[in-house]
Chains A and B, each alone.
Chain A
């Protein structure tokens, strides 16, 4: 065993990068659920975002345009979900699951011509002398733009939900859509916008995998990250900063177990491999002492005449 082989600074820097796809997808889903909609199609929107972002980045040579394309791709797919659940009043759970299956199939179709291609790289931001500060520099100031965007999104979502009128309306729609409707708010319109936002965020998360973390296109490459993001929203009791905490915890333990294996720690590998899930469940139990409940109208269809 050689624990000195593990560099904590690099470990923390790596976990931030590993957690970003989960974080992006989860913060989007949090807004969707606060508006009272349960979209189980996160995995499907992520994988479609991954291929849309990859394709746009390769065709235009610009990774940033790629991320924009990923957001658009994810949002377009979520529009299908919005149509099904908000207009035709289809069951949200079934529609979400269908969206995931559809997204997986669609992405492998779109990706036919992109196997084995290297995308243009999005370099780390050059923050000059800040990045040279020992310890703090590599952890805080040596990342790519999208990672900071993810952090900014968490702060923005928190601020909007907590302090603004728009956030208040969104929460009202999620808590009790009949009351919100009676007050004159356009429930369907607000929910559709929330769903589009969630789709765009999931798309960004998918593209973070295909453009930065891996970076290449292969079928099914999101490999379940969307499901973890979904669980994370519940885990965080629908609070933005807890989403950040949960994503870093999960990403961190995943990284740590690989590091421990590399350092030859004499814990059976199977325990290390399952540790992120176990610890997530444990924290879930602890946090559930907090009795903030799910939004009151979560998962229920709304129609003005009902």
Chain B
């Protein structure tokens, strides 16, 4: 992997040297944490980059570096991009937060956008997506489809983003099926196909006929396919190669509209530092096609839920809701505020087990 980083670095340096001539174009840089072929997180960011090129054509030029480790290397890559005349740089992993802030301080005229972080500056914006809105829809389908009433969930790390997803899926599974139980297995990795496959197999052996995942590979899909009567959902990217069974729907990260909007803002000089947390409504979270494996009425219900979330009429965390220990959290009709959601570190009532601390 390190060798590849070096090679890409060298290739980038060459590419930048060759392209330094055309300066009338707006230059947009992307720093990626994984390979663009990972099929999940980085793949979708790169799709956003390609869509940006398609939309703005000759007026924009994009550069990217993949598999950049979250550390001093990231700072070097960003600095190089800024020195080579990038007008706007997207840094697409949580671990790039401090490097982004550091480099941004050195280049006040370059705009930076950091994905999933919370530190901002005059020339640094942050952006993320409300994946929990998609989880609500998955939860509804999962709760309606399960026959064993056991839903397996492969978690990556016990961080607020993942816990939020578990709670959201659980609340909406329970709404349509009060007998639903969640079995949660922590894999302690974002990406380890063999381990994800094992985790899915274990959950299936223990009776789960629906497997939800918050890890990035398609290994759980392959395991579910082998088991035959288990359904899964695509994560980050559509994973439609496993449709219509076992993958019955998916949550898709769709960064393209945001990338296009922000690049246009740089072009016409209206860019300001903002904090964006968009969901289904703004199209940042997409719901992959719900396949025919899902009964018509469940599909209609899921689409209705999607509509009401998109229009802002319904919030996935709406009271009455209690925390796992039975203490009251949200009163009837009350919705959770973004601060609580961003730092969520508790299960809602009904989920068994403890969050690893």
Residues of A within 8 A of B (CB): 5-7, 10-11, 14, 18, 21, 101-102, 104-105, 108-109, 111-112, 115-116, 118, 209, 213-216, 218-223, 225, 254-255, 258-259, 261-264, 266, 268-270, 273
Contacts and interface: CB of A to CB of B under 8 A. Distances in A.
A14 B207 contact: no
Nearest to B197: A214
A5 B198 contact: no
Contacts of A262: 152, 183, 185, 202-203, 206
Nearest to A271: B356
Given A105-B7, A221-B193, A264-B183, 14 more contacts: A5-B207, A115-B37, A115-B38, A115-B39, A216-B222, A219-B38, A255-B198, A258-B185, A259-B205, A261-B185, A262-B183, A262-B185, A263-B206, A264-B353
B3 interface: yes
6 tightest CB-CB pairs across the interface, nearest first? Answer: A105-B3, A258-B202, A269-B356, A5-B206, A214-B193, A115-B37
Interface of B: 1-4, 7, 35, 37-39, 152, 183-186, 188-189, 191-195, 197-199, 201-203, 205-207, 217-219, 222, 241, 352-354, 356-357
A214 B222 contact: yes
A115 B241 CA distance: 11
Contact of A101 (B3, B199, B241): B3
Main secondary structure of the interface of A (DSSP, over half): helix
Main secondary structure of the interface of B (DSSP, over half): mixed
Nearest to A210: B193
Q: Which of A11, A112, A262 has the most CB of B within 10 A?
A: A262
9 contacts: A7-B205, A214-B219, A216-B219, A216-B222, A258-B198, A259-B202, A259-B206, A262-B183, A262-B206
Contacts of A109: 4
Contact of B205 (A10, A101, A214, A218): A10
A296 B186 CA distance: 44
Nearest to B216: A218
A266 B353 CA distance: 7
Nearest to B186: A269
